[in-house]
Structure 1
């Protein structure tokens, strides 16, 4: 299958790849696994590019300069157009910090390292912060271009070798990549998603097709069966997978093998599936698929900003899809197609280099200025900018405390103690970190001292881990170290536990909030989470089990326990919503009602009540202050939240001291000393 001509069924397959991506990102129900479209694109790309390379190398007319010229004509014009339009639109809608991040992501995109940038800046492709990154989708372009930096050279080195040798080398690389991806699914899940080593096998699968790893078959019934199975694999992954599916790893085999099956069978004969893929509407979408992929995500982010929430109403989601299709056609017709013409009919190589070089330099220069000017805050009225920055900022103590493990010495807060005795331990996840400013203010006012054990996405649940965070997260080790430290010390009279309890117990995020599910498991369990020997995949049981373990050991050490109930989850970034309302007149979504907060936390409260009776623990809640009826998100224009579910410094300092005073007065069991 090394020779290649135009195949309408592959353009149809492109449509089958891009449409689920667009529909999933728009939030249309039923397409939760639409992100697998990117993996289908990788297989298609590996097949088409390798087919061309093999043909040219075999005819002794391959040139790296020609190869990269074709890549430039194919990729850069539409990309530059979308980057320029995104920067222009973002000038009018993005607050300074997101605008600065956009400038940085533009630079990363131009250098084809945006997969590294988003891995470091957002960590999680499905995370809540990713919903507001206009260029998040460019990570896949970077993966492809990084692959094509070395793959043509590899094929040139293998040119004199037999076809069997080529197959063995490409298959070996692909198997190594797949093995790494399977391992990294649990060990390094975020790097696994974004970085090229985990994706080489997907491109390699397409390359193996082009190298003839799968021979021509004449049996019509067999080809029809394989083609039907291939499209079933793709549709199954689109409709069944979701953000909680460990990916890529083994799960990516389903859509990738499905795509490979359709490419292979379509090259052997006109199957029923191949004829379906050649329908005019699918071929038309396939032709504009690259531009459609480029346009859809920035448009969705823009509409989220205007709407004030990550989840779009159906009418806006449909409008985004229609607008993306229109802009994709215009981009394909007037940008992609003219630049893709050969030098004889279009721009010469010199003209191409000059025009793309000039535009690329201009975009890079603008991005550098945006970054240097820190998002150009002068675009916003000064009071709006100050309020926004204040809401999002963290105190030095919070930043310092969130980085320390018990073995390094936990950070101290509150009033200094001459005899080095500590009165309180604050223990929890990033919600405990957001609790620090108010907690420290209370300690200082009352003359107490405290230490903080806080780790992001690491609630104080002994023997329980967040599976989606990966083994490298080390939450189980962190919590065991904290507990060991407690059991060795004779001071610290009271332990205050703070976490995002509802997310842990339910697994799902609050309605309207983007981001992945929280998937709990038992630490060190290779066969799935088990409780008392009975396998369980339910978060609530593991939450209840882990919290019970923690409280039992703290109480056995002779200390008091205080649980701070969860902060009401707002489902949208409060500082961004407030700033956008002032800056561009965006709609501010209604905050949850008290009834919704109570319903969201009903099972958590049941566990708290049972543990309160069993272990004589105390509970505190900020829900009465934050949600007298409908939850409040600001006071006199100052945000009580720094995002959608963490208290801002202002909110913490305003609310936490009063809460701690009420708890101290309500119970003699809450004692500062050991």
Structure 2
């Protein structure tokens, strides 16, 4: 096929939004659709080359895969080899375990690994240097079956081939739509749900086969507009792949079918700077995520936008060097590096085997913690210091709310029959629930505890930008009904009160800024309105729903409310371990109690009012962590220097949770004494 400058320009339009999205710039909130653009371009180019070989009777599976090896592996393996020493030095065991698993990209299975381990839009994904290789795995899985399939159906003619490919595209799109509705996180990485995007590119190539392409400026401009719309207006809440993927995919198809240099839109794509970025787009795609991930791993606080912009530029510079010194020498027609096919295949197979073996070792060894000094390793281990009931007694959107009570979540009776008290809430509740249950049992109370991750848990509130809205509401109904049916005397409520109310994650004002999407809550009945985090009316409605929910509970149970857990802003075990690795001395100064008061003031006022009315009893846990005086500080470590948290806001099971358990027991005793006196 003839070279088209506009396609290289389109590659630039694809890669830049991806880079800036991963850099964290909000104006590219939908930049991840650049990958979808790449899929369509890839399908178009590969099918065009295959069709040309088939028409000329020179089709060769061996030659096809030689081209793929020369195109994909040299730059990919270079980036992997550069990443390994940085991962070895800077990564804590949990991160290194995931990194080791991602080395399955050497056999193009990293999408399968990430499908089971990493939510693409979760903040933990930002720390994965090879997260972006999932798309390479999807492409190569497509090209395992597509060339032989095209060879088999080629004799049916262009129309027959087009019909068969279109049928496969339709089937894949149906898989994507069903998956987006039932298991969106898994579907994101699922190859059969992505094949239709590459297939659209294949259809474009088949449509142009033996036909002269007609340039159309309006169609090209419309195609670019569809891509731009998705880049600017989509965000992490848009399910991908799904019908929402159609605009950027069809926009790319329009450019491929009608693009050229004859229109203003076409001339934009053909401009030298744009084409230049397109030429190095593959290497830019490879380099950007490792740069961003290692910057986030090294810094104790979120890297500033200026640094992320600088790293974005650096990724383009490294991309040019890689394109010039690695990609071109392997791909040139005359005297390429490793010119003989058997030597090429065996060389990369050997190197890939070594990398894969290293990955298996790192993964099976749980991140090779022995790499780290003893103190750093001890700090890092607290990232895993979570409730032993976390997997069983912390529900998520991934499965419907089961029939309650849930066996295994009660103490002393594991089946939780006839508990005196039920602990309800979100992951904050689950973090300390087992230690609280142990203390409550020692005080003579039978207990049950079940939480729902990311769920405000009372008042008909749900979190926006989450897939858990219906499950959260169902949990609220069922947990209260279950407590009622078992004649529970009391409930203990703990949620991340300020996060849902403000809509924003915590900024401690001292460089500790919690990463992640907004966590805005709203009434389920107003979910579709998607009110902004700082909407005053939304915040007023949430606060009113908090109060109404607690009043409703107080009409049936003695209610203990655990005051907001002091948030930190830094991942405490990670920060401590990195400080140890980097030899820093100023990492354990705590954080401001005034910030805690400012962030929680409306909540504490509301809880104080309900307490004065005798409707609730508060477990006032702040004094366990903070000097509760103006200008006081809140600590992150216990008296033995151990982290009180397993991240930046959840209490560690063996330290922070133990600290507040007696406070909760005392509050429950007061609540039941008052109830008995009525």
TM-score calculated relative to the size of structure 1? 0.87
Matches within 5 A, 1:248-259: 248-259=241-252
Q: Aligned equivalents of 1:297 and 1:377: distance in 2?
A: 24
- The residue number in structure 1 matching 2:642 is 638
Paired residue for 1:288, among 267, 274, 280? 280
- Give the Cα–Cα distance (whole angstroms) in 2 for the partners of residues 228 and 643 of structure 1: 47
**For each residue in 1:2-51, what CA deviation from the matched residue of structure 2 results, as whole angstroms up to 9, or x when unmatched?**
xx222121111111111111122122352222212111111111111111
Q: Which residue of 2 aligns with 1:275?
A: 267
Distance (whole Å) between structure 1 residues aligned to residue 87 and residue 415 of structure 2: 53
The answer on 1:157 being equivalent to 2:157 is: no
Relative distance call for 1:104 and 1:391 in structure 2 (3 A) is closer
Match of 1:429 among 410, 421, 426: 426
* Equivalent position SS for 1:105: helix
Q: Does the 8 A contact of 2:102 with 2:130 survive in 1? A: yes
Q: Distance in 1 between matches of 2:663 and 2:329?
A: 65
Flag the 1:422–1:174 CA change in 2: closer, same or farther, 3 A. same
- Cα separation, 2, equivalents of 1:213 and 1:546: 59
Structure 2 unmatched ranges of 5 or more: 396-400, 508-512
Tell me: CA distance 1:436–1:355, structure 2 relative to 1, closer, same or farther (3 Å). same
- State the SS of the aligned residue for 1:563: strand
Maintained 8 Å contact 2:624/2:660:
no
Structure 1 residues 168, 672: CA separation in 2 closer, same or farther (over 3 Å shift)? farther
Question: Shift of the alpha carbon at 1:156?
Answer: 2.2
2:120 paired residue among 125, 150, 164: 125
Secondary structure of 2:27's aligned partner = coil
Figure out how many residues of one structure are paired with residues of the other and give that number.
656
| RMSD of aligned residue pairs (Cα, Å) | 3.5
Residue number in structure 1 paired with 2:53: 56
Provide Cα deviations, 1:439-477, integer angstroms capped at 9, x if missing partner: 134214423221111233344246555565537984444
Give the match's secondary structure for 1:159.
Answer: helix
Aligned to 2:161, which of 160, 166, 188? 166
Contact residue 559 and residue 671 of structure 2 kept, 8 A: no
Q: Do 1:119 and 1:191's aligned partners in 2 also have CA atoms closer than 8 Å? A: yes
CA, structure 1 residues 179+276, in 2 after alignment: closer, same or farther (shift >3 Å)? same
Deviation at 1:561, TM superposition (A): 1.7
**2:667 paired residue among 636, 655, 663:** 663
Match of 1:370 in 2: 362
CA distance in 1, matches of 2:609, 2:529: 22
Aligned partners of 2:245 and 2:677: how far apart in 1? 54
Residue in 1 that maps onto 2:398: none
Query: What's the CA shift for 1:575?
Result: 1.0
Shift of 1:94: 1.0
Q: Distance in 1 between matches of 2:262 and 2:605?
A: 60
The CA distance in 2 between the partners of 1:175 and 1:609, in whole Å, is: 58
Is the counterpart of residue 570 in structure 1 residue 533 in structure 2?
Answer: no
1:113-168 C-alpha deviation (Å, 9 max, x unpaired): 2122112112x211121121221111111111122222223322321224333333
CA distance 1:655–1:191, shift in 2 (3 Å): same
Q: Within 5 A, what are the aligned runs for 1:433-444?
A: 433-444=430-441
Does structure 1 conserve the Cα–Cα contact (< 8 Å) formed by 2:217 and 2:262? no
SS at match of 2:651: coil
Give the 3-state SS of the residue equivalent to 1:234 in structure 2.
helix
Match of 2:170 among 175, 192, 199: 175
1:109 aligns with 2:105: yes
Q: Which of 332, 335, 338 lines up with 2:323 in the alignment?
A: 332
Q: Quote the offset at 1:539 in angstroms.
A: 6.3
- Deviation per residue, 1:502-521 (Å, 9 max, x gap): 33334443353333344667
Distance 1:62 1:498 in 2: 65
Q: Which is further off, 615-624 or 64-73?
A: 615-624
Alignment of 1:216-235 (within 5 A): 223-235=216-228
Aligned partner of 1:147 in structure 2 is 142
Name the SS of the counterpart of 1:639 in structure 2.
Answer: coil
Corresponding residue of 2:510? none
Structure 2: distance between partners of 1:377 and 1:116: 25
Supply the distance in 1 between the matched residues of 2:516 and 2:416 (Cα, whole angstroms): 46
Where do 5+ consecutive residues of structure 1 fail to align?
none
Matches of 1:64 and 1:648, distance apart in 2: 55
1:50/1:608 CA distance change after superposition, 3 Å: farther
Q: Secondary structure at the match of 1:638?
A: coil
Residue 257 of structure 2 is matched in structure 1 by: 264
Whole-angstrom distance in 2 between the partners of 1:672 and 1:285: 74
User: Alpha-carbon deviations, 1:70-119, whole Å to 9, x = none?
Assistant: 1111111111111121111111111223212211221x222222122112
Instruction: Please tell me whether residue 300 in structure 1 is matched to residue 295 in structure 2.
Output: no
Which range is displaced more, 479-488 or 424-433? 479-488
Query: Which SS does the other structure have where 1:454 is aligned?
Result: strand
Q: Offset at 1:431?
A: 1.5
Match for residue 129 of structure 2? 134
Select 1:238's aligned residue among 231, 250, 268. 231
Q: Does 1:626 align with 2:620?
A: no
Shift of 1:307: 1.1
Q: Report if the CA contact (8 A) 2:405-2:416 is conserved.
A: no
Q: Distance in 2 between matches of 1:607 and 1:154?
A: 66
Partner of 2:516: 515
Match of 1:489 among 486, 491, 497: 486
1:67 aligns with 2:90: no
Partner of 2:41: 44
Q: Higher RCO, 1 or 2 (CA under 8 Å, sep at least 6)?
A: 1
